[in-house]
Amino acid sequence: MSARGAQPPKVLRGRILWFTADPRTAPEPAHHYIEDGALLIEHGLVRQAGEAWPILASLPQGTQVEDHRPHLIMPGFIDPHIHFPQTQVIASFGAQLLDWLQKYTFIEEQKFSDPAHCARNARFFFDELLRNGTTTAVAFCSVHAQSVEAFFAESQRRNTLMIAGKVLMDRNAPEALRDTAESGYEESKALITKWHKRGRQRYAIAPRFAVTSSESQLEAAGALAREHTDCHVETHLSENEAEIALVRELFPWSRDYTDVYAHYGLLGPKTLLGHCIHMSARERAVLADARSVAVFCPTSNLFIGSGLFDWRATTEAGVRIGVATDVGGGTSYSMLRTMAEAYKVLQLQGQNLPALQAFHAITRGNAEALGLQDVIGSFEPGRACDAVVLDSSATMAMRHRMATVRTLEEELFLLMTLGADRNVAATYVMGERVHGGPGHDARPKAGPRD
Ligand code: GUN
Ligand code: ZN
């Protein structure tokens, strides 16, 4: 898997939790939870996950044990929709999608023509993901090939499994951010040749959305998808009413927004469509048929005022679902904060989101949405040991509430409702610690004014 996998065996000890199926539909318990558990890691992969005592008893002398008790060890979080060039767009005031793009996003993304800016931001981006326990993400880079180069170079250095691509956009954007159907195709192709399946890196063909691509560019994107069937496709769909009206004007022949992507051959099982909020039954049926994935981005949908994702209708239509941050429309890198807002979006519609369902979604569920459930998202033997260690008592309010918590479900619900980066005591990538550590105190340090 990786040259860096040649490390001596190691053990992580703590309370271990991972999912084997979707708790909403599984007839049996859909997770393994081991109070005093251990993960035996060899060459960066999970060799064994189970009760600590038999694993510890059978270890060769001198095997390193990183003891995280009493914390929870889970598979690293997966964020299936995030924008690498928007780390300085996050928290931009007072606009809905189309204005927000023009006023803030397209300004900031122009800075990614500078490779030094790309490299600096890539370091920040990866630090921030790992601090939040996110070990895999699907990212949009900017239109510039150099932003993809910087992104994958940093990911390669960190040994993370990342999926990313250069956005294709040849209209309805400032000139400095426009490619052409031909140059977008050629640059994407060269980036696929260089980066797709290089180590743990994977390429996503990325027509930004129907508004910023001409018909010939969408055709070229469709050709790329046909020529590279093992690459993902990432885009946006039906996020905002004004966006949908504009798509209707730009593609007057289409039955609806979904039909535009279907027409150009962009829908398939590796297609990830951000938002999918304002969808008709017909559109959901098309996505279900194509086995494409609707990606729910709750903090973004609330912040940009886009609308409420209907999880129940989407599931009942048979559409696969992922859940993501969508930074910088989204307001947090934390998948815990993301699930807190997902819960509220569903509450507003009389739906609910039990904690087991939420933690399944951000680990194994998102791995399945990416078709990577055999590689990441659980601790079954042979999976990459990408892991997050969670301290459920990291703040005074959480420690206080933990005193009355009696069950795993209650603890997980507390973590998703009040949790954030401060609850991430450590993060591992291929068995190597990349953030925090055993005995790491995730609690805020008492400053002079605390
Ligand atoms: N639609 C097209 N581009 C974007 C983007 O950068 N963010 C969001 N939230 N929606 C989009
Ligand atoms: Zn987005």
Asked if the 10-76+379-435 domain carries CATH number 2.30.40.10, the reply is yes
Span of 84-98, 404-418, 434-448 with lowest mean pLDDT? 434-448
CA 151–ligand 1 middle distance (angstroms): 19
Give the closest ligand to the alpha carbon of residue 102: 1
Give the closest ligand to the alpha carbon of residue 89: 1
Q: Which one of 208, 211, 212, 235 would you pick to mutate in the ligand 1 pocket, going by the greatest count of ligand atoms within 8 A of its CB?
A: 208
CA angle 89, 195, 434 (to 5 degrees): 65
Return the percent helix, strand and coil in the chain, to nearest 5: 40, 25, 35
DSSP annotation of 173: S
In ligand 1, the atom with minimum distance to the C-alpha of 167 is 3
Residue pLDDT, tens place only, 296-329:
999 999 999 999 999 999 999 999 999 999 999 9
Question: With bands split at pLDDT 50, 70 and 90, how would you rate the model's confidence at 446?
Answer: very low
Measured between alpha carbons, how far is 327 from 366 in angstroms, rounded to an integer? 17
Ligand 1 touching residue 105 (CB < 6 A): yes
How much of the chain exceeds pLDDT 90, in percent? 94
Answer whether 10-76+379-435 and 77-333 agree in fold: no
Measured between alpha carbons, how far is 102 from 382 in angstroms, rounded to an integer? 45
How much of the chain exceeds pLDDT 70, in percent? 96
What is the overall mean pLDDT for the chain?
96
Question: With bands split at pLDDT 50, 70 and 90, how would you rate the model's confidence at 439?
Answer: low
What pLDDT score does 437 carry? 80
In ligand 1, the atom with minimum distance to the C-alpha of 243 is 1
Q: What residues does 138 pair with on adjacent strands?
A: 163
Q: Which one of 79, 209, 246 would you pick to mutate in the ligand 1 pocket, going by the greatest count of ligand atoms within 8 A of its CB?
A: 209
Give domain limits for the chain: 10-76+379-435, 77-333
CA 234–ligand 2 middle distance (angstroms): 9
CA 237–ligand 2 middle distance (angstroms): 9
In ligand 1, the atom with minimum distance to the C-alpha of 326 is 9
* Closest C-alpha among 128, 14, 31 to residue 69: 14
Q: What is the mean pLDDT of residues 278-294?
A: 99
Ligand 1, atom 3: closest residue by C-alpha: 208
Ramachandran bin of 430, using left for φ above 0, alpha for ψ from -120 to 50, beta for the remaining angles? left
CA 351–ligand 2 middle distance (angstroms): 24
Residue pLDDT, tens place only, 218-241:
999 999 999 999 999 999 999 999
Question: With bands split at pLDDT 50, 70 and 90, how would you rate the model's confidence at 441?
Answer: low
Q: What is the mean pLDDT of residues 284-299?
A: 99
Ligand 1 touching residue 306 (CB < 6 A): no
Q: What is the mean pLDDT of residues 96-124?
A: 98
Q: What is the mean pLDDT of residues 139-159?
A: 98
Ligand 1 touching residue 81 (CB < 6 A): no
Ligand 1 touching residue 108 (CB < 6 A): no
pLDDT exceeds 50 at position 184: yes
What pLDDT score does 440 carry? 58
Give the homologous superfamily in CATH for domain 77-333. Metal-dependent hydrolases (3.20.20.140)
Ligand 1 touching residue 178 (CB < 6 A): no
Question: With bands split at pLDDT 50, 70 and 90, how would you rate the model's confidence at 78?
Answer: very high
Q: Dihedral of CA 179/183/189/190: which sign?
A: negative
What pLDDT score does 8 carry? 87
Cis upstream peptide for 328 (omega within 30°): yes
What pLDDT score does 27 carry? 84
